């Protein structure tokens, strides 16, 4: 099954500790998380669930008193399942980052920043924190309306520094940041279906 017994390779090839910052309300300069670039086929194979969902609620949870960190609980209403078994109608993602009880904010570059009402196709990898986006923002294809009202999807890779393997096996930077050109939702759905047919 896709996503079974796979470590969090994509998201944490390096969220270098320096890329995770505790900041106050007046935050300073942006930094980037370094991750392996993944395409739709790779994300499909790495993810246990691939779903279309809408964000219905957000809540910050401060676990620092327990020796942990600050998280944001993101509640998703699942509208369509492209891949996965036993996917619930509602799923709560636990994403690192959020607002602490004392007003301190934890920001994680490259972690998806979502708002209530957002709709997206989520590639969700199973981790110790539950099912979370595979490859950070790479695993969230946001849905918007394009020309003639057709749904399009796009990713926002701001906050990510992407790396890819060269033919010699070395890692080299990939220069893709910020919002990328979109594609039709139907095209993404075809890519997911094709990836599922390919071992």
Q: What is the mean pLDDT of residues 149-171?
A: 90
The three-point CA angle 186-189-191 to 5° equals 115
How far apart CA 199 and CA 76 sit, in angstroms, is 29
Per-residue pLDDT reduced to its tens digit, 81-116: 999 999 999 999 999 999 999 999 999 999 999 999
Cα distance between residue 52 and residue 80, in whole Å: 5
Mean pLDDT of 21-42: 67
What number is the average pLDDT over the span 32-47?
Answer: 93
Q: Which residue has the tokens 């994680």?
A: 108
* Average model confidence (pLDDT) across the chain: 85
What pLDDT score was predicted for residue 177? 55
The answer to whether 43 and 135 are in contact (CB under 8 A) is yes
Among 111, 110, 82, residue whose Cα is nearest residue 96: 111
Identify the pLDDT of residue 184: 95
Q: Give percent of the chain with pLDDT exceeding 70.
A: 82
Q: Is the predicted pLDDT of residue 25 greater than 80, yes or no? A: no
Mean pLDDT of 26-31: 46
């Amino acid at each position: 099954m896709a996503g079974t017994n796979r470590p969090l390779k994509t998201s944490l090839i390096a969220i270098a500790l320096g890329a995770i910052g505790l900041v106050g309300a007046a935050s300073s300069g942006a930094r980037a998380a370094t991750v392996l670039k993944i395409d739709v086929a790779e994300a499909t194979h790495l993810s246990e669930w691939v779903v279309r969902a809408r964000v219905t609620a957000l809540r910050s949870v401060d676990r620092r008193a327990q020796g942990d960190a600050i998280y944001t609980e993101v509640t998703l209403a699942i509208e369509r399942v492209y891949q996965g078994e036993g996917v619930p109608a509602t799923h709560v993602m636990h994403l690192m980052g959020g607002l602490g009880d004392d007003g301190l904010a934890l920001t994680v570059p490259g972690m998806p920043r979502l708002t209530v009402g957002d709709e997206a196709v989520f590639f969700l990898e199973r981790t110790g924190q539950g099912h979370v986006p595979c490859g950070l923002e790479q695993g969230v294809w946001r849905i918007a309306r394009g020309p003639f009202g057709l749904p399009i999807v796009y990713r926002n890779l701001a906050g990510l520094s992407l790396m890819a393997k060269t033919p010699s096996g070395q890692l080299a930077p990939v220069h893709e940041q910020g919002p990328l050109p979109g594609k039709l939702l139907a095209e993404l759905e075809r890519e997911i279906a094709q990836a599922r047919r390919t071992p």
